[in-house]
Structure 1
């Protein structure tokens, strides 16, 4: 019997591979025979966009805070759940995603970037190099870190903090300026950290995190937009925290107020999202009581502005009541949007998909991680969850680590 798979030309095989939209299907194609595996690169030359994936711990590891090397990925474009093994993630917590990469923190206490598809890893400076971390003594079990923390609003005091608390709560979010696969030297990581929610930054290959000067406290979200880092603080002010005009290697970035909060902002949980080239501010309202918390509603504004390399032009906030075909994805991840037209079968736009990022309550509530769902911007209703998670059937329980949205990027771009 003739093995037809060996008779396909490389050009024809490349043509077949170019029409595959799923990374997992591409992996299966390479596994057909040795010839195909050697002919096709491990990373596909062309991979169409997929719907963002929801990454959450496997059933066997949901209640284990340390062992979470296996994750289930909800592949929205396929409606399937996959188990993916991530390299060296045992004893690590995932503290977000950006540019298709996961940000993990180890009790070691290292910080790493991991591409969940290619398994490539890149180190960031360790957690003990952050500003306000004064000492790290590994032998002092349970009190390894000496951290400068806020006390009585304007005063500070030094407290000893253990490895577990630092791993889970010290870093709130990390956002990348670009994928490290494109150029490690130009990739900048910006982090929200500490009890005052300050900003610190580093470049791939740096030995330590450096403080952002200026208006730098109680930051709630960050985004890299139009070549600059933007942030939003607890009262809804938008800050510019990085500009291409200075060299990060030789200058210290300074956070400056770029726009005041929009009228009607109520100090909820703000996010900055790029959607169709525009910068959106999304305010998430939480209903919090002694036993639980849950998302109550959202409000959206658009910042009408013009940017160029030398100046900023401020403009007024415009309220947004309809997102059209866009879908927003919010949580511990870098907030992003996606067009419902880019997936098959078609999905409904004008939606906000959110995960639980209420880090203030992670140590206080039994149902931590379960505030997950979809919101209809048009009528303000919450949609029944189709996600295979605890709580989907009305019974909320703890999900640890909290699920995170990821936009996979197999290509180093």
Structure 2
């Protein structure tokens, strides 16, 4: 009788109504707990979606880490709230580099022309137009000795690059206008890329056959975002280009008239972040040292984030200017190879406000896997202190933030 009652009790739990399951989901604080909840039984796994509808859970940031030594199927993901590493079976990410993270989707580049969106939580895939369709690539040849790309420079000179150079340096970042999981039609979603030797801009819509250049004389864009129906991109000098997505025909940009903020002398990098109260420009400052490795007869450039400066675009009539911001209030910023974002962390224990969580996106220093990926931390705007999140000198490929949508 005891065994019969026990089985009956388990059956009652299995038959819980979806509304009661939703109540349980709303009480959870961790995406890991949500995964465990779906794993209780087959029925719950079918009833509950792979990605939670609760914003409290879906906005929890994860840090995707390189594969552990000796295992290239279990991808480590660092839970920022629990401060634990979980391993997901993600062989799809083997031998891939990440060049973007938007709405829970990773942008993956591999040793070939394929460019793909991948959702690590649902394992769904979407193809983007291949690398061979970017505006400055004229030919692609694959053979056993190594793939070779033929490109044309801005002044019309033709040159070639091998697949490893293209893999590591050609694409800097790709961002999406909206989540593929929430859009009815693929062509509703636009992707923008910073690409090529001169870090210029190109765009496409999902389902397009190729990438289209956004014409501009400026080069060396460092970040690009979608914000309030427009594309914003910032150059290394702090100039900001704006493209209105609602305009018919090919995209064209106009420059924000505001004078760029005075950038600190030395090494720096810039990001754009769209918030409910306006547009932010974030300057990331570095300390750079040179170590001489006598054993290898080479220089090793060691960089470390030393701080951040934040500026907000203010408008008065037709006049615009960048004003210094000293506090984020209750918000935090997530910066790196991901879509630069601003989130409200009050639902997440131990995720403190008024901080910048950043990962390592200094791609130029990560050639030949000599150094890089390690510059990960949390910057406190209140006192200027930095808490390092990585404990190794080299993390390759560099980690990236991903936020389930």
Q: Distance in 1 between matches of 2:284 and 2:50?
A: 40
Tell me the TM-score normalized by structure 2: 0.87
Structure 2 vs 1, CA of residues 358 and 5 (structure 1 numbering), >3 Å: closer, same or farther?
A: same
Aligned 8 A contact 2:258 2:322 in 1: no
Q: Distance in 1 between matches of 2:132 and 2:310?
A: 37
Superposition pairs of residues 52-71 of structure 1, within 5 angstroms: 52-60=61-69, 68-71=72-75
- Please say if 1:340 is aligned against 2:338: no
Aligned 8 A contact 1:18 1:47 in 2: no
Root mean square deviation of aligned Cα: 2.3
Superposition pairs of residues 225-264 of structure 1, within 5 angstroms: 225-240=227-242, 242-247=243-248, 251-264=249-262
Aligned 8 A contact 1:6 1:35 in 2: no
Q: Distance in 2 between matches of 1:127 and 1:222?
A: 19
Q: 2:401 aligns with which of 380, 402, 405?
A: 405
Q: 1:304 aligns with which of 304, 314, 331?
A: 314
Residue 190 (structure 1) shift:
0.2
Q: Distance in 1 between matches of 2:252 and 2:72?
A: 37
Report the more deviating stretch, 279-288 or 134-143. Answer: 134-143
* Residue number in structure 1 paired with 2:320: 315
Secondary structure of 2:283's counterpart equals strand
Residue 142 (structure 1) shift:
3.3
Q: Distance in 2 between matches of 1:38 and 1:95?
A: 32
- Please say if 1:33 is aligned against 2:41: yes
Tell me the TM-score normalized by structure 1: 0.85
Q: Distance in 2 between matches of 1:314 and 1:176?
A: 30
Q: 2:113 aligns with which of 98, 109, 116?
A: 109
Superimposed CA distance per residue, residues 105-162 of structure 1 (whole angstroms, 9 cap, x where no aligned partner): 1113211111111111110011111111111011273351012236xxxx45322111
Residue 364 (structure 1) shift:
6.9
Structure 2 vs 1, CA of residues 378 and 34 (structure 1 numbering), >3 Å: closer, same or farther?
A: closer
Superimposed CA distance per residue, residues 20-60 of structure 1 (whole angstroms, 9 cap, x where no aligned partner): 34333222222222343344344444452443111111322
Structure 2 vs 1, CA of residues 16 and 147 (structure 1 numbering), >3 Å: closer, same or farther?
A: same
Secondary structure of 1:97's counterpart equals strand
More helix by share: 2
Aligned 8 A contact 1:68 1:92 in 2: no
* Residue number in structure 2 paired with 1:172: 172
- Please say if 1:195 is aligned against 2:205: no
Q: Distance in 2 between matches of 1:35 and 1:193?
A: 45
Structure 2 vs 1, CA of residues 34 and 209 (structure 1 numbering), >3 Å: closer, same or farther?
A: same
Structure 2 vs 1, CA of residues 41 and 266 (structure 1 numbering), >3 Å: closer, same or farther?
A: closer
Aligned 8 A contact 1:235 1:266 in 2: no
Count matched residues: 382
Structure 2 vs 1, CA of residues 336 and 139 (structure 1 numbering), >3 Å: closer, same or farther?
A: same
Structure 2 vs 1, CA of residues 141 and 158 (structure 1 numbering), >3 Å: closer, same or farther?
A: farther
Superposition pairs of residues 354-393 of structure 1, within 5 angstroms: 354-363=358-367, 366-383=370-387, 385=388, 387=389, 389-391=390-392
Q: Distance in 2 between matches of 1:284 and 1:156?
A: 34
- Please say if 1:138 is aligned against 2:142: yes
* Residue number in structure 1 paired with 2:60: 51
Gaps of 5+ in 1: 62-66, 307-311, 392-396
Structure 2 vs 1, CA of residues 123 and 273 (structure 1 numbering), >3 Å: closer, same or farther?
A: same
Q: Distance in 2 between matches of 1:80 and 1:258?
A: 43
- Please say if 1:294 is aligned against 2:304: yes
Gaps of 5+ in 2: 291-299
Residue 288 (structure 1) shift:
2.6
Q: Distance in 2 between matches of 1:187 and 1:404?
A: 22
Q: Distance in 2 between matches of 1:390 and 1:128?
A: 38
Residue 382 (structure 1) shift:
1.9
* Residue number in structure 2 paired with 1:73: 77
Report the more deviating stretch, 276-285 or 104-113. Answer: 276-285
Aligned 8 A contact 2:81 2:351 in 1: no
Superimposed CA distance per residue, residues 155-179 of structure 1 (whole angstroms, 9 cap, x where no aligned partner): 4532211112211111000010001
Q: Distance in 2 between matches of 1:400 and 1:59?
A: 11
Aligned 8 A contact 1:214 1:256 in 2: no
